[in-house]
Amino acid sequence: MDCCVPLLLALLLAGNGWCQQEEVCSKSVINSCGDCIRSGPHCVWCQQLNFTKVGAQEAVRCDTRAQLIARGCPVEEIIAPENLVDIVEARPLNAVFEGRELVQMSPQRINLKMRPGLPSSFNVSFKRAEGYPVDLYYLMDLSYSMKDDLAQVKGLGRDLFRALNKITQHGQIGFGAFVDKTVLPYTNTNKEKLEKPCDQKDQQCQPAFGYTHVLSMTKSADEFGKKVSEQFISGNLDSPEGSLDAMMQAAVCGEKIGWRNSSTRLIVLTTDAGFHMAGDGKLAGILEPNDKQCHMARNIYTKSSEMDYPSVGQLATVLEKNNIQLIFAVTKNVEAVYKELSKMIPKSEVGTLQSDSSNVVALIENAYNRLSSKVTLSHDNLPDDVRVVYTPMCTNSGPPGENEGVCDNVGVQEQVRSFRSHLMQIPRKHHRQGLLGLQKSVRQS
């Protein structure tokens, strides 16, 4: 049996209360019926021809319903427009992926005709799909300390695909690698050291690099294994790495990575070190801020030594915009660092990686299950004079919040639905509500 889990949504004027206990019409300048209706949710207009006395202002026609009736306005002469919810598009939910377009949210489009300040209710249903496509991008730190981990990952290709096939028959995996900017003080710029930044005894060592895209999304375990087996360790000087650079490029270079339009998008970041962020580039005289654009040529990040690292806020914004979820697979020594980072990035998880990455497959499985069972409703393009408060009403709900509503541990084919809205002014632009991590949204206008 499907389980329906309600969420409560309230759209409120910033600075305005939830509701007024007593009906009051707070009038300012009233010259017409429209002015009256815009004055507040309890203001109504008496259109009776002889209602006003000679010389009286038109504003006397505007008051609460009770006050106008008490002053002799017939009920049938009172104009009190109500809200209208028009479901424009509502395709039925289908929660099993069979090669056709999935419908996980319904309705898809709603027209709301609302008077200022008057709440309006509407339902939105979401059903978690079974077998939904997954795109997984394995982004690996190839600094020298990850030597044992690379050796382990070279033999994990089939295990990764086997784990992915437990989730969906429509899975793809890509691969990318990073170290850090190839300038001082992050990397030794001696020509010989740039060519071979590893110890002299290591014959298999690739030149220093920032971020390299190795393999676009593929369904072939053999192709993945072949490309990963061709990778060698590299090196740099300082401990923090350029992981934020790499994640930013993986997120914004969608065509190169091969992200599909209808899929769960995952970046799995594996590292044993912390990260550089915006401002750290100044140590190398790099002053140009990160522009959140794709700068890839021949699969190499070309602006690595010219542009600063992105900020955590920039990265979080880009990941959310592109519906990409993060799994940090990190060693114990930096687990606390990435747990703090995860708090600032929606739809991200942290797992503890063993020193040689031997548990990475199980880590990814567990993190994916936690991410996919967490339903997060959010919005964009919200008018300036409207604020949103989400109050989830489900078995494992998060606290009320203005940015999102969360239901946790939602099972396959469970439904999450029911929202209430309240706004002070009719918005002049569309806004969307959608679920983080999915290419789905509800358009409201």
Residues 213-226 have a mean pLDDT of 95
Residues 52-57 have a mean pLDDT of 88
Contacts (Cβ under 8 Å, ≥6 apart) of 53: none
Looking at residue 436, what is its pLDDT?
56
Looking at residue 311, what is its pLDDT?
98
* Residue-wise pLDDT tens digits, 252-262: 999 999 999 88
Q: What are the Cα distances from residue 302, in Å, to 117, 278, 297, 354, 380?
A: 51, 18, 6, 32, 32
Write the single-letter amino acid at 59: A
Highest average pLDDT, of 158-167, 203-212, 307-316, 431-440, comes from 307-316
Ranges 274-288, 330-344, 351-365, 414-428: which has the least confidence? 414-428
Q: Is the pTM of this model over 0.85?
A: no
Percent of the chain with pLDDT over 90: 48
Looking at residue 431, what is its pLDDT?
54
Looking at residue 303, what is its pLDDT?
97
Residues 240-250 have a mean pLDDT of 97
Looking at residue 120, what is its pLDDT?
72
Looking at residue 115, what is its pLDDT?
81
Query: Treating both helix axes as pointing N-terminal to C-terminal, what angle do 360-372 and 157-167 enclose, rounded to 10 degrees?
Result: 20
Looking at residue 269, what is its pLDDT?
96
Looking at residue 275, what is its pLDDT?
97
Check if the beta carbon of residue 300 is closer than 8 Å to that of residue 312.
Answer: no
Mean confidence (pLDDT) of the chain:
84
Count Cα neighbours of 303 within 13 Å in the Cβ-side half-sphere: 20
Looking at residue 218, what is its pLDDT?
97
Looking at residue 442, what is its pLDDT?
52
Looking at residue 240, what is its pLDDT?
92
**Cis peptide leading into residue 107 (ω within 30°):** yes
Check if the beta carbon of residue 281 is closer than 8 Å to that of residue 307.
Answer: yes
Per-residue pLDDT for 9 more than 60?
no
Tokens (6 digits) for 305:
């030594």
**Cis peptide leading into residue 400 (ω within 30°):** no
* Residue-wise pLDDT tens digits, 305-346: 999 999 999 999 999 999 999 999 999 999 999 999 999 998
Looking at residue 438, what is its pLDDT?
52
Looking at residue 228, what is its pLDDT?
93
**Overall size of the chain counted in residues:** 445
Check if the beta carbon of residue 187 is closer than 8 Å to that of residue 208.
Answer: yes
- Predicted confidence band at 42 (pLDDT cuts at 50, 70, 90)? very high
Per-residue pLDDT for 33 more than 50?
yes
Q: What are the Cα distances from residue 301, in Å, to 215, 266, 285, 428?
A: 14, 20, 19, 40
Structural domains of the chain sorted by starting position, each given as residue range(s) with its CATH number in brackets: 4-14+86-129+374-444 (2.60.40.1510), 33-79 (3.30.1680.10), 134-372 (3.40.50.410)
Ranges 108-122, 188-202, 231-245: which has the least confidence? 108-122
Pick from 7, 19, 25, 38: nearest CA to 119 = 19
**Cis peptide leading into residue 185 (ω within 30°):** yes
Q: For 196-286, where are the alpha helices, taking DSSP H only?
A: 221-229, 243-252, 254-257
- Predicted confidence band at 116 (pLDDT cuts at 50, 70, 90)? confident
- Predicted confidence band at 1 (pLDDT cuts at 50, 70, 90)? very low
Per-residue pLDDT for 219 more than 60?
yes
Per-residue pLDDT for 18 more than 50?
no
Per-residue pLDDT for 212 more than 80?
yes
* Residue-wise pLDDT tens digits, 386-442: 666 777 777 777 777 777 777 788 777 676 654 444 444 544 445 555 555 555 555
